Amino acid sequence: MLSAPNNVYCQEPYKLVDVTNKWYEYGQLGGWGYYPIQLDHLIYFFDGDTIINSIPYKKLMHDRRDTIYSTPLSIQDSYGYTAAFRQDSLDIYFIEADSINEKLYCSFNLSTGDTLNYYYNHDTLTVSSIDSIQYGSGFRKKYILSSGSVFYEGIGNSLGLFHGFEIGIEGGVYLVCFQQNGISQYVWAFGGTPDCTFEPCGNSSAYFYLYPAPDDTIPLLHYLALNLSTGETPIEYFWDWGDGTIDTIPFPSHTYDATGTYTICLSITDSTGCSDTYCNNYTFKTESPIAYINVIPHITTGIDNLFTENKILLVYPNPATNYITINVEYRMKNYECRIMNVMGQEVFHSTLDIHNSTLDISSLSPGIYFLTLSYAEQTVSSKFVKE
């Protein structure tokens, strides 16, 4: 083990809450004869700010990619908001998603014999000794606990950000690497060389918006599906139409010849391996006698005029938990965006200058809200549900 210089503990505390920090967790789930083997990659990182109870916080995001070795092979990816964090000297506080109550996450003001003040210290472990690890050109405290577990200054639990100290938690998922300012520190070697190259998939998103085409005439029920998926190109597409048929091109067409409710799903995998799936239910009454869907790209000749005439405003996902994306297809700059609750109270007001904006609604209470965009004498509005 490394010994720290005498003055190492008088330095400024290392920032656990820092926009350059990344926690890489890796491990294996299943594979005990009952379940297929599942390899798990998980990253936590800070991205953006939020204000809760008039206090500023950093938003901690997660990106998880699971490879399930089943038949066929399955890759699942999830991305989203985890918690809000702030640091006050040696104390770190957090607010869990869908909550406004602040809790102490941990404190690094520790001496030998102290009980570790850590939210997930369920067994009230104490500090048996304090050592150090070299990180870049400096040193960080390494708290060795009464169970033999380890807690690192500015990094946290050696098993990960939101774990207790039980060995083998979640079947063997560990914090293998921590990164700050581009410098990586291996924490726990699991299954060979730790993987600290997996990057977040926040830009990979599957989404489409279905609406009746303006030229809809009997006997043909004609719908347009706007493909709003994003990711690093080239992107692989998989459309499941809910009637036993599929397509693997970005802009297919499909016909329903039987009345019913169908679940349409779009799955994508981009060139980095990031994947995402979006599904929605639609009911088609096809006595006319058929329903026909054309999938179209985000930018198509003539589509801008179509949206201008109909003032199409897209707000998705709906319902939403933490974020909504606003997409307006006619050219507005510096438009006023307002969100009102059902009591007519304004809960958000800002000026936006892009056509596709993402808003943090994590602080809103669950309920129905009305979003309005205004520019000069033009106004469009939409309703969304906050879960």
CA 148 – CA 127 distance, rounded (Å): 10
Could you tell me the CATH number of the domain that includes residue 343? Answer: 2.60.40.3080
Closest CA to 302 of 262, 338, 329: 329
Residue 7 phi/psi, 5-degree rounding, is -95, 10
Could you tell me the CATH number of the domain that includes residue 212? Answer: 2.60.40.10
Q: What is the pLDDT of residues 23-49, one digit of tens each?
A: 888 776 655 555 556 667 788 999 888
pLDDT at 218 over 50: no
Q: What is the pLDDT of residues 82-138, one digit of tens each?
A: 899 999 988 999 999 888 899 999 998 889 999 999 999 888 999 999 998 877 777
Q: Is residue 19 part of a domain?
A: yes
Q: In this structure, are 251 and 328 located in the same domain?
A: no
CB 52 within 8 A of CB 100: yes
CB 179 within 8 A of CB 199: no
Q: What pLDDT shows up at residue 177?
A: 85
Tokens read off for 162? 């939101």
Q: In this structure, are 141 and 229 located in the same domain?
A: no
Environment class of 298 (CB within 10 Å of its CB; exposed 0-12, middle 13-18, buried 19+): middle
Q: Report which listed range, 80-89, 255-264, 275-284, is most confident.
A: 80-89
Closest CA to 79 of 41, 26, 118: 41
Which of 140, 155, 186 is the C-terminal boundary of a domain?
186
Q: In this structure, are 85 and 118 located in the same domain?
A: yes
Q: Is residue 1 part of a domain?
A: no
Q: In this structure, are 323 and 229 located in the same domain?
A: no
Number of domains making up the chain: 3
Q: In this structure, are 244 and 318 located in the same domain?
A: no
Q: Is residue 198 part of a domain?
A: no
Residue ranges of the alpha helices (H) in the chain? 303-310
Which of 153, 186, 219 is the C-terminal boundary of a domain?
186
Closest CA to 382 of 347, 338, 345: 338
Tokens read off for 154? 């500015």
Q: In this structure, are 181 and 236 located in the same domain?
A: no
CB 62 within 8 A of CB 49: no
Q: In this structure, are 45 and 145 located in the same domain?
A: yes
Q: Buried (b) or exposed (e) across 53-78, using 16+ Cβ within 10 A?
A: eeeebbbbbbbbbeebeeeeeeeebe
Return mean pLDDT, the chain: 76
Q: What pLDDT shows up at residue 68?
A: 60
Q: In this structure, are 245 and 360 located in the same domain?
A: no
Residue 76 phi/psi, 5-degree rounding, is -120, 135
What is this structure's pTM?
Answer: 0.53
CA 57 – CA 300 distance, rounded (Å): 40
Q: Buried (b) or exposed (e) across 189-212, using 16+ Cβ within 10 A?
A: ebeeebebebebbeebbbbbbeee
* Amino acid in position 37: I
What is the average pLDDT across 68-92? Answer: 75
Q: What pLDDT shows up at residue 306?
A: 32
Residue 76 banded pLDDT, cuts 50, 70, 90:
low
Domain carrying residue 333: 313-386
Q: Is residue 3 part of a domain?
A: no
Q: Is residue 302 part of a domain?
A: no
Q: In this structure, are 104 and 217 located in the same domain?
A: no
Q: In this structure, are 166 and 233 located in the same domain?
A: no
Q: Is residue 191 part of a domain?
A: no
Q: In this structure, are 109 and 180 located in the same domain?
A: yes
Residue 208 banded pLDDT, cuts 50, 70, 90:
confident
What is the average pLDDT across 297-315? Answer: 46
Q: Is residue 203 part of a domain?
A: no
Q: Is residue 2 part of a domain?
A: no
Q: In this structure, are 19 and 155 located in the same domain?
A: yes
Closest CA to 333 of 302, 304, 373, 382: 373
